[in-house]
C-alpha cells in the first residue's frame, strides 16, 4: 500500500470535514493514481475563510455534489469570492435512507445506528437518484479537465462509494479500496461533522444517542462497504458488470480515465 510512503492525504481545515486527496494508490499492472486531482470531503457549510482559501488553492474545476435538494437548500456550501467551478448535482432527493426509523423496544441506540447505516448501503446500489449521480460523476471525470471534488453531507457514505468505484475502475486493489473507505475514521475534523449532524438526528429520533451510536453514524465500518458489494454482486455478478450496465462505465471510458488519472 502506497499511502504509508506519501504525505498526509488530509488537507487541514477548521470547518470542512474529511477534506482529502484520494489519489496515491498503486494499481494493477503498474502505475499510481495521480495526486492533486481527486478530492473528497463533507459539505462546506461551516467552512472558515481560511478553509475557503485553502480549498480554492487546490484549483478544483468540478464539484460533484451528491446531496439532494433539501440538503443543499438547508446546508448551502460556502464559497471563496473567486469560486468559478462547475457544480454537478441532482435536482431531487438522493438519500438512500428513510428520514426516520423507529427504535424498537430493547434495541440500543448503537444497534439502531448500525442497522440504519447497513440499510443505507443496501439501498444505495438500487437508488435511481444515486445511479444517476454516480453516472454524472464518472462523466464529469471523463469529460472535464482539472481537479475535482466529490462530496455529500458527511463525505463518507455516498462519497465513499463514489471514490471506491473510481479506484476500482483505475485498478486499485480491493484492500486499498477498503483502506481508502476506512481512512475517513482518521479524519481530524470529526467534531465538525458531530456539530452538523448529531443535534438534528437526536431531534428527529426524540432521544439521546450514546457514544457508540454516534460513532456508528459518523464513522464508517468495513461491513458497510461490504454490504454494498454484496448487494451489487448478488444482482449483477461483479462490480464491473454493474458499473458497465447500470452506471455506464464502458471499456472506452475506463481507458480514458486511466490515461487521465494514472501516472
DSSP for 107-118 reads: --HHHHHHHHHH
- For residue 121, the domain's CATH number is 3.90.190.10
Using the 8-state DSSP alphabet, how is residue 189 labeled? T
Pairing of strands 38-41, 86-88: unpaired
Number of independent structural domains in the chain: 1
Contact 231, 125 (CB under 8 A): yes
Of 125 and 113, more confident: 125
Question: What pLDDT was estimated at residue 108?
Answer: 64
CA angle 253, 255, 257 (to 5 degrees): 70
Range(s) of the domain holding residue 172: 3-261
% of the chain residues with pLDDT over 70: 92
pLDDT digits (tens, 9 = 90+) for 208-228: 888 888 888 899 999 999 999
pLDDT at 249 over 80: yes
CA angle 249, 254, 260 (to 5 degrees): 125
How many Å apart are CA 258 and CA 159, to the nearest integer?
Answer: 20
Contact 189, 45 (CB under 8 A): no
Of 142 and 119, more confident: 142
Query: Which of 248, 41, 26, 236 shows the shortest CA–CA distance to 138?
Result: 248
pLDDT at 231 over 70: yes
How many Å apart are CA 259 and CA 253, to the nearest integer?
Answer: 10
pLDDT digits (tens, 9 = 90+) for 53-106: 999 999 999 999 999 999 999 999 999 999 999 999 999 999 855 433 444 445
Q: Which alpha helices (H) appear in 148-221, and where do they start and end?
A: 158-170, 174-182, 190-205, 211-218
Question: What pLDDT was estimated at residue 204?
Answer: 77
Nine cell digits for residue 179: 483502506
> In this structure, how many other beta carbons lie within 10 angstroms of the beta carbon of residue 14?
14
pLDDT at 1 over 80: no
> Please, what is the average pLDDT of the chain?
92
Contact 33, 25 (CB under 8 A): yes
Question: What pLDDT was estimated at residue 4?
Answer: 44
pLDDT digits (tens, 9 = 90+) for 153-203: 999 999 999 999 999 999 999 999 999 999 999 999 999 999 999 898 888
Question: What pLDDT was estimated at residue 5?
Answer: 52
Confidence at 207, pLDDT banded by 50, 70, 90: confident
Amino acid at each position: 500500500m502506497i499511502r504509508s510512503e506519501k504525505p498526509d492525504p488530509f488537507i487541514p481545515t477548521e470547518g470542512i470535514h474529511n477534506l482529502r486527496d484520494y489519489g496515491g494508490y498503486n494499481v494493477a499492472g503498474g502505475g499510481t493514481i495521480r495526486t492533486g486531482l481527486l478530492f473528497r470531503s463533507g459539505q462546506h457549510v461551516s467552512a472558515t475563510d481560511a478553509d475557503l482559501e485553502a480549498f480554492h488553492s487546490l484549483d478544483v474545476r468540478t464539484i460533484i455534489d451528491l446531496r439532494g435538494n433539501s440538503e443543499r437548500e438547508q446546508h448551502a456550501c460556502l464559497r471563496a469570492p473567486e469560486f468559478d467551478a462547475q457544480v454537478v448535482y441532482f435536482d431531487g432527493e438522493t438519500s438512500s435512507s428513510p428520514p426516520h426509523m423507529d427504535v424498537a423496544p430493547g434495541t440500543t441506540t448503537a444497534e439502531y445506528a448500525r442497522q440504519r447505516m447497513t440499510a443505507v448501503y443496501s439501498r444505495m446500489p438500487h437508488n435511481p437518484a444515486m445511479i444517476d449521480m454516480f453516472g454524472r460523476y464518472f462523466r464529469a471525470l471523463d469529460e472535464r479537465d482539472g481537479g475535482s471534488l466529490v462530496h455529500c453531507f458527511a463525505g463518507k457514505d455516498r462519497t465513499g462509494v463514489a471514490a471506491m468505484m473510481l479506484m476500482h475502475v483505475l485498478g486499485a486493489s480491493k484492500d486499498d479500496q477498503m483502506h481508502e473507505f476506512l481512512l475517513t475514521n482518521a479524519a481530524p475534523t470529526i467534531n465538525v461533522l458531530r456539530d452538523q449532524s448529531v443535534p438534528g438526528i437526536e431531534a428527529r429520533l426524540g432521544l439521546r444517542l450514546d457514544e457508540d451510536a454516534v460513532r456508528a453514524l459518523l464513522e464508517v465500518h468495513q461491513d458497510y462497504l461490504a454490504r454494498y458489494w454484496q448487494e451489487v454482486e448478488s444482482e449483477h455478478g461483479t462490480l464491473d458488470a454493474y458499473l458497465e450496465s447500470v452506471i455506464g462505465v464502458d471499456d472506452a471510458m475506463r481507458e480514458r480515465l486511466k490515461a487521465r488519472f494514472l501516472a
